[in-house]
Amino acid sequence: MQTSGPFCLQIKELKRMKIFVLTLGALGMAASAQAEPPRALTASGQISGRIDGAVAQFLGIPYAAPPLRENRWRSPQPVASWSGVLEATAFAHDCMQNPFPGDEAPLRTAPAEDCLYLNVWKPAAAKPGVGLPVLVWIHGGAFVTGGTSPAIYDGSAFARSGVVFVSFNYRLGRFGFFSHPALAAEAGKPIGNFALEDMVAALAWVRRNIAGFGGDPSRVTIMGESAGGTAVINLMTMPSARGLFHGAISMSGGGRSLLPTASIEKGEQVGLEFAKRHDIVDSGTAGLAALRALPAATVQGTNLFAERFATPPTYVGGFVAEGTVLAGASDRLMDAGKIAPVPVMIGMTSADAGIAMARDKDGLFAGYGVQGPALRRAYDPVGTIDLPDLSRRLTGDQYMAEPARFVARHALAAGQKAYVYRFGYVAESKRAEWKAGAPHATDIPYFFDTVSARYGAATTPQDRKAAKLANAYVINFVKSGDPNGKALPRWPAYDLAGEALLQHDMKGNAQAGFDPFKEKLDLIEAFATTRP
């Protein structure tokens, strides 16, 4: 047999060509497999998402029927099933609002009334039923702005670490909080907290469907910031949410009724005033039909804060104690032992938000009654701190720090662990601007590990280090109810003797120790427990 010469060369060339063809075929099959969009089966039908590296994303999944026309100001209604495959590759509309200029989390969609959608990020390789822990995000925005589309709310870092991440929109402003006698008659009960009902509906969707994305419905943690953190705390007191989550993270959400809780009588009176402003005086079915026929922009209004404090008010401003969804203020309910027995992570930023109307220091401290002189000695001992900085420090502790400790103590009373933090890291590019510390909401991209989405080219290695640390604590908590893990600074659970507090510092590190703010918080607690 000839083993050399032109024939042999031709054989070798054919073999190389065959290998090349086979290689091209394999690459083509791999490319085809990679191009195949991920799919998941929900109770309403099949959906397809998109792949981004090791993460599968499903965006814009309906969890309730559109709250339009007869569904405006109704409890969330079931989603109509669909045939075929629903494409879930882009964010749906965020809910109706007037966005704040300069928001830390700017929207990437146009707000609309049709907005009850959620999003899921999961490890691309995760199969249905694998049982991964689940984190559900509740966005902030004072219950009048916000949504799931902002880049800093991307759930990819969680999915890459083996967590199924869910975010959802809920009705805002007057769409989310509205009472009227005709609504009560239609529903057969007082009504008014549609935003909270949306949250429960989204969590119920997670319980029914998340196994199809590889998640475990018995290992769900809820997390929110600002209004979202307040929602987390209220969900912990709501019977309708009991059993839908198994851990809670509240970021700058207060804990002592950060937002006022109106009586149902007040809520309905505000609703009647809004109707009257638009020449709707009938309080029965005809009036309700006219209200539901108003354009969405009219219901939205131009300045809900002004409408809340108008005389008479035409926006209730938040929660309504209507007795079924929400029985009362969260702190009163916790004092009565009505708190979900779940582990808690809770805290604030080092230059967090508060509310002060005082025009001078005397007026500021006078508002604290008999605790005023002691608070003056604690917060302004030599009288050199200017009023804006003093107000921020005092009211930030009043609205965020002391209430966080309050919730932690109630978690302990319920037999659970609590972990308290104060986040003080400031992005290096912002230090000349944010000299007082980390402002409200600036901890979010660290908890999410999305600092590059927030600061872009100005993001530094130290910023990324701080984000990796904060995100690792959250992931560990979601997986086990304990934020501690290998190579992380130890974060002891809060207890009445140790008063442990974890502080994230300006170097991107974290240290735990006895709460250095304890004496100040004790004074605020004394005021909070004695005021009417």
**The whole model's pTM is what?**
0.92
Integer Cα distance of 179 and 513 in angstroms? 46
Annotate 111-157 with DSSP letters as a single string: -BS---EEEEEEETTPPTT--EEEEEEE--STTTS--S--GGG--HH
How confident is the model at residue 70, as a pLDDT?
97
Q: Evaluate the CA torsion angle 188, 190, 194, 198 in order and state its sign.
A: negative
Q: Which of these, 440, 449, 444, 454, lies nearest to 471 by C-alpha position?
A: 449
Q: How far is CA 219 from CA 89, 122, 225, 246, 447, in A?
A: 26, 15, 20, 6, 19
pLDDT computed for residue 100 by the predictor: 85
CB distance 345 to 249 below 8 Å: yes
**Measured in whole angstroms, how far is the alpha carbon of residue 121 from the centre of its chain?**
15
Q: What is the CA radius of gyration of the chain?
A: 26
pLDDT at 34: 52
Three-class SS state of 61: strand
Q: What is the pLDDT of residues 244-293, one digit of tens each?
A: 999 999 999 999 877 778 999 999 999 999 999 999 999 999 999 999 99
Calculate helix-pair angle for 402-413, 518-530, nearest 10 degrees. Answer: 80
Strand positions, DSSP E, 35-102: 39-42, 45-48, 50-52, 55-62, 85-87
Report the DSSP pairing between strands 55-62 and 50-52. Answer: antiparallel
The bridge status of strand 85-87 relative to strand 45-48 is parallel
pLDDT for 317 equals 94
Asked whether the beta carbons of 471 and 444 are under 8 A apart, the reply is no
- What is the reported pLDDT for 30? 40
Q: Cα–chain-centroid distance for residue 276? A: 34
Q: Is 337 exposed, middle or buried (0-12, 13-18, 19+ CB in 10 A)?
A: exposed
Contacts of 473 (CB under 8 A, 6+ apart): 345, 483, 484, 485, 488, 491, 510
- How many Å apart are CA 147 and CA 141, to the nearest integer? 8
- DSSP label of 4: S
- Whether omega before 516 lies within 30 degrees of 0, making that bond cis, reads no
CA-based max dimension of the chain:
109
- 331-347 residue pLDDT tens: 999 999 999 999 999 99
Supply the pLDDT for residue 117: 98
Length reported for the chain: 532
Give dist(CA 303, CA 398) in Å, integer.
26
Residue 410: its H or E element: helix 402-413
Please tell me the distance from the alpha carbon of residue 470 to that of residue 427, in angstroms, as a whole number.
14
Which residues are 263's β-sheet partners?
Answer: 321
Q: Compute φ and ψ for 204, nearest 5 degrees.
A: -65, -35
* 244, amino acid identity: L
Low-confidence ranges of the chain (pLDDT < 70): 1-35, 532
Are 524 and 397 contacting, i.e. CB atoms less than 8 angstroms apart? Answer: yes
Could you write out the DSSP letters of every residue in 302-362? S-HHHHHTSSS-SS--S-EE-SSS--S-HHHHHHTT------EEEEEETB-------SSHH
| Cβ neighbours for 43, distance < 8 A, ≥ 6 positions apart | 208, 209
Q: How many whole angstroms separate alpha carbon 131 and alpha carbon 210? A: 9
pLDDT value for 257: 73
- Cα pseudo-dihedral 296, 301, 307, 311, rounded to 10: -90
